[in-house]
Structure 1
Amino acid sequence: MIVQSATCKDAPMPSSPPHSRPIRILLVEDHDMVAEAIRLALERSPDLQIVGHAASVASALADAERCEPDVVLMDRRLPDGDGVAAITDLLALRPKARVLVLAGEGSASVAARVAETGGAGLILKARGLSELEDAVRRVAAGEVVFSQELLGDVLGRLAGRTPSLGANLTPREREALQLLGQGRSTSEISDQLGVALNTGRNHVQRVLEKLGARSQLEAVTIARREGLLS
């Protein structure tokens, strides 16, 4: 079984050279079957060790301090929040840790968020366990690793050549987008924002225009893909 959040495998003695021991990995994944498959795959290698398993952002923050991981393998979507948004807090607790985000799907804007918050990379689950194993070793060695299909775009965004989709949304439009993501109607959005129905419609319409969406459903789909919705 995977080590649960209440227990961590013993940390190495402070004098141990970093390359004489396995890479210590904190696995943050809320689906038990996925977590078990990752554990079995990674621990086939003597240089990789799962020292803790958390199923939420809150547990990950507690275990990052207690388990002393070298690498935090963080699922992007967790029951209590966004794994990417948690990177800053993780690094505040464990500055030497490297955070590698594992996502079912990704985009250049999500990958750019990972890099901007201090993450060591993002790899897609579809890439396979052998590539994940290699990515863990590379980030532990100080490299930054992104799935190949995202790398070119994320470099462009970080260099400022391509603005992130949705970056020009106003705070009010972001509120409207969050409510759209919750399945609220235009009338409900207007009530929630405390504005007239026509004003609420205008907010929603501008969200669609800025995301290049033709419908509210498409806007929500794009926003989830781009990491604009938690």
Structure 2
Amino acid sequence: MSSSTTHSRPVRVLVVEDHDMVAEAICLALQRSPGLEIVGRSATVATALSDAGRYKPDVVLMDRRLPDGDGISAIAALEALVPDARVLILAGEGNASIAARVAEAGGAGLILKASGLDELEDAVRRVAAGEVVVSRSLLGGVLDQLTGRTPVPGAKLTPREREALDLLGEGLTTTEISDRLGVALNTGRNHVQRVLEKLGARSQLEAVTIARREGLIK
């Protein structure tokens, strides 16, 4: 196929969204946009796979949460069916971790539903052209995650939580930590639990290990 033929053909888009009003608004906006063509509309992962095989879209604009599954988990199956298709995930909410998960799954990007229709149209065009697109509000965090420049665990600990972490590092129990901090046992437990949550640890020992690895305690 010549490059002129490739560029003259509209970008074929399959919209996968289970909320009728949202799907209708997206389809209307994209259909009115020059050079974009809606070839199908699906409401589940199963129908998306069936429709993708039938319509061979260039771009699959796919809701992250669908009645029968997760849109991100379906990326591999969609691309196996239609190798040339690029999957752009549409999400009601998102963060850098979700966007990085999309990229790791082979997706073409993540766009938030709160984005304007202009940004959505632009994202579809850029994805069709081979780019990876992420909503502007998430871009910085995604780059940090994908390049390994993640925020240091513990950077968001409060001064009191840092004290609790230091005491965990000394091998103190929750009761002893509460006594040293001069707080009630329940308050001490809460401080310790928040430390574990913020460090992504499942136990006090793991929290100490992570903190030592990251230089938060000696």
TM over 0.5: yes
- Please give the residue correspondences for 1:59-98 in structure 2 after superposition, counting only pairs within 5 Å: 59-98=47-86
**Greater Rg over alpha carbons, structure:** 2
Match of 2:175 in 1: none
1:209 CA displacement: 3.1
Q: TM-score, normalising length from structure 2?
A: 0.68
Match of 2:210 in 1: none
- Please give the residue correspondences for 1:18-57 in structure 2 after superposition, counting only pairs within 5 Å: 18-57=6-45
Say whether 1:110 aligns with 2:98.
yes
Percent of pairs identical after alignment? Answer: 70
Q: 1:34 to 1:206 in 2, by over 3 A?
A: same
Q: Which runs of 5+ in 2 are unaligned?
A: 154-191, 201-218
- What is the SS of the residue equivalent to 2:39? strand
Q: How big is the alpha-carbon RMSD for the aligned residues of Structure 1 and Structure 2?
A: 2.5
Match of 1:87, as an amino acid? I
Q: 1:106 to 1:50 in 2, by over 3 A?
A: same
Match of 1:162 in 2: 150
2:124 counterpart (118, 127, 136): 136
Query: Partners in 1 of 2:143 and 2:99 — Cα distance?
Result: 9
Runs of 4+ in 1 over 6 A off after TM superposition: 205-208
- What is the SS of the residue equivalent to 2:145? helix
Query: Partners in 1 of 2:87 and 2:114 — Cα distance?
Result: 19
Q: Quick one: higher RCO (CA 8 Å, sep 6+), 1 or 2?
A: 1
Query: Partners in 1 of 2:198 and 2:88 — Cα distance?
Result: 28
Say whether 1:58 aligns with 2:82.
no
1:146 counterpart (128, 134, 148): 134
Match of 2:43, as an amino acid? A
Q: Which runs of 5+ in 1 are unaligned?
A: 1-13, 166-204, 214-230
- What is the SS of the residue equivalent to 2:12? strand
Say whether 1:121 aligns with 2:94.
no
1:128 CA displacement: 1.1
- What is the SS of the residue equivalent to 1:53? strand
Query: Partners in 1 of 2:127 and 2:25 — Cα distance?
Result: 21
**1:63-118, Cα deviation, whole Å (9 max, x unpaired):** 11111000000001100111111111111111111111111110101000000011
1:206 CA displacement: 8.1
Q: TM-score, normalising length from structure 1?
A: 0.64
Write 1 or 2 for the structure with the bigger share of helix.
2
The number of aligned residues is: 161
Match of 1:168 in 2: none
